[in-house]
């Protein structure tokens, strides 16, 4: 997970070689769930808030395992 966080902080593509798990006990708020560096929400969108959650990162070869997991943060409900 640290590889992913460090890459995101520098704007680089992470080289993930194993499963990473992280948790955010206080949740998070942001402008764009698909662009962590966005300073304002995209046109027609609002700021998002996600309650406490876990985050997973997978190696590129395994990313299809999460293909059907929803990414809609508007309801705060499990996807």
- For 9-54, what is each residue's pLDDT tens digit? 888 988 899 999 999 899 888 888 778 788 899 888 888 888 898 8
Whether 57 and 16 have beta carbons less than 8 Å apart is answered as yes
pLDDT band for position 78 (50/70/90)?
low
| Residue 20, pLDDT score | 92
| Residue 77, pLDDT score | 59
Say which residue, 34 or 62, is predicted with more confidence: 62
What are the residue ranges spanned by the domains of the chain? 2-65
pTM of the complete model beyond 0.85: no
Angle 7-65-12 (CA atoms, 0-180°, nearest 5)? 10
Angle 48-8-25 (CA atoms, 0-180°, nearest 5)? 50
């Amino acid at each position: 997970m640290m590889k992913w966080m460090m890459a995101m902080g520098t704007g680089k593509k992470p080289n993930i070689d194993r499963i990473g798990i992280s948790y955010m006990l206080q949740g998070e708020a942001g402008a764009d769930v698909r662009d962590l560096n966005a300073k304002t929400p995209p046109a027609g969108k609002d700021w998002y808030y996600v309650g406490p959650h876990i985050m997973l990162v997978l190696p590129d070869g395994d990313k299809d395992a999460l293909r059907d997991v929803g990414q809609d943060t508007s309801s705060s409900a499990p996807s």
